[in-house]
Amino acid sequence: MNLLEFQAKRLLGRFAIATPIGQVAASESEAFEAARRLGCDRYAVKAQVPLLARMKYNGIAFASTPEQVRAQARSMIGKALRIGEPHSIGDIVQQVLVEERIESLREMYVAITLDRSAGKLVMLASAVGGEAIEERAAAEPGLIHRLELTLENNKAVADFHSLASIIADTPEVVTGLANLYRDLADAAVAYEATLIEINPLALTKDGRLIALDVKISADDSALYRRPELAALRQENDRIVCSPTELEAQRFQINYVPLDGDVGVVVNGAGLALATYDLIVDAGGQPANFMDIRTTATSLDIAHGFGMLLTNSQVKSILVNVHGGGMQRCDTIAEGIGIALRRHPRQIPIVICMAGNNADFARTILENNGTRYVAVSDMADAAQQAVALSRRKAA
């Protein structure tokens, strides 16, 4: 789960990490009011979307009066930051964060992330920060310093201190940084974060360290024991998920809407990726990425399949299923049958089934009178589905 900036800043505040004073606003008048209440000399207005490089996409603007804040909020709210890739409604700005613009003496970088291969959390720190950090690090090896973390009674302060002394030179700043690093490590464990990134981390003229932008990704699998994060997840889903995606979640289906016209139903993410590749190779474009979880029942599957049947953008449907031990083909065949009874629609369906209970599944399809093109080879299945989507379109 990716948190929005204002949520991430709120969470870090509890670990004594300073962020600029600010308030989130959902309309231009709220933004104006927020600015008036804050009473700063200079403001930053920041689009609350989970997107990298917001500066580049005009998602961050500056203002010096509440009136200007209102104008900036108006230019952002309700608009998509990124044009040309409407895959996610999360790109449409629904809220802006109005906060004090901090004058920084120096901008630094610090993050904690998961090193998958090492199976560890690592801290990455740099004396420079900002959106261009990646390009700079690529050109200048050694810019990023790395410290492996342990989970229990995190590192001794001394470790953070030696990291901090590479980054800063004056003793006060080193101490401040070391404390911030330690607090950040505690926060990462407490929020089960797979990423916490402060970029930039500002050092102000009066020697304060302030997190100007914060990104947090929390582990979805740990939400069951972090009720506070689970609540944020719900708040976020309403902001960044389309109603279709939310509906899919309720029915044990991983669903990502895409631009194409071939509806895709698979079980398993790897098979989904491979099927996607075959469809594109065959000259088509998937209308979605739909992965049935192993625990989905036939009714769940019926809901998922129904979403494709009721989507007029979908011109043909490809079902590519490998019955494993957990999800058997017959459950999926039943789900398809139920969906077709609920939403009768003349649409070409190509089905490729193998594995557990594949024959049983074919019998069910036959008993239900499901009309479909049966294929046994997934490349053939993809080609047929793409050809059929074309024929309808013409």
Partner 1 sequence: MAVLIGPETKVLCQGMTGRTATFHCGRMLSYGTQLVAGVVPGKGGNRHLDLPVYNHVREAIDATGANATIVFVPPNNAAAAIIEAIEAELPLIVCVTERIPILDMVRVRQALIGTQTRLIGPNSQGILAPGVTQLGVMSTVDASPGRIGIASRSASLTSEIVLQTTQAGLGQSTTIGVGGDPVHGVDLKTCVKLFLDDPDTDGVIVIGEIGGTEEEEAAELISELKPTKPIVALVAGRHAPPERRMGHAGAFASSSGGGTALSKIAALQSAGVVVAPNAATVGETMRKTLAV
Binding site for partner 1 (CB under 8 A): 2, 50-52, 85, 87-88, 109, 111-117, 119-122, 124, 133-134, 137, 144, 146, 150-151, 189, 192, 194-195, 197, 199, 215, 217, 219-222, 224-225, 258, 266-271, 273-278, 280-281, 294, 322-326, 354-356, 358, 377-380
Closest to partner 1 by CB, 292 vs 347, is 292
Query: Taking the complex as a whole, how short is the minimal distance between the CB of residue 250 and partner 1, in angstroms?
Result: 17
Of 109, 191, 255, 276, the active-site residue reads: 109
- What span, in angstroms and rounded, lies between the C-alpha atoms of 256 and 265? 11
CA–CA dist 157, 180 (Å, integer)? 10
Provide the sign of the torsion angle of the four alpha carbons 190, 191, 193, 196, taken in this order.
negative
**364: buried, middle or exposed (CB in 10 Å: 19+, 13-18, 0-12)?**
buried
Give the shortest CB-279-to-partner 1 separation in angstroms. 8
Task: Please state the closest distance from residue 300 (CB atom) to partner 1, in A.
Answer: 16
Residue closer to partner 1, measured from CB, 223 or 365:
223
If 0-12 CB within 10 Å is exposed, 13-18 middle and 19+ buried, where does residue 188 land?
buried
197, 245, 276, 334: which is the annotated catalytic residue?
197
Q: Determine which helix (DSSP H) or strand (DSSP E) holds 70, and give its type and residue range.
A: helix 66-76
Tokens of 256: 């990502």
Tally DSSP H helices, then E strands, for the chain: 13, 16
Q: Which is nearer to partner 1, 3 or 24 (CB)?
A: 3
CB atoms within 10 A of CB 238: 11
CB nearer to partner 1: pick between 182 and 328: 328
Candidates 291, 285, 296; CA nearest to 389 is 285
Q: How far is the CB of 153 from partner 1 (least distance, A)?
A: 13
Would residue 197 show up in a list of annotated catalytic residues for this protein?
A: yes
Closer CB to partner 1, 174 or 352, in the complex: 352
Nearest Cα neighbor of 127 from 144, 146, 113 is: 144
In whole angstroms, the minimum distance from the beta carbon of 194 to partner 1 comes to 6
Which residues pair with residue 45 across a beta bridge? 61, 98
* Alpha-carbon span 45 to 23, nearest angstrom: 10
Closest approach of partner 1 to the CB of residue 172, in Å: 27
303/322 with CB nearer partner 1: 322
Taking residue 173's Cβ as centre, other Cβ atoms within 10 Å add up to: 19
What is the C-alpha to C-alpha distance for residues 237 and 231, in angstroms, rounded to an integer? 10
Query: 98-123 burial string, b = 16+ CB within 10 Å, else e?
Result: bbbbbebebbbbbbbbbeeeeeebeb
CB of 258 to partner 1, least distance (A): 7
Return d(Cα 282, Cα 388) in angstroms, integer.
Answer: 12
Tokens of 109: 């970088």
CB closer to partner 1 out of 148 and 235: 148
| Residue 109: active-site member | yes
Which residues are identified as catalytic? 109, 197
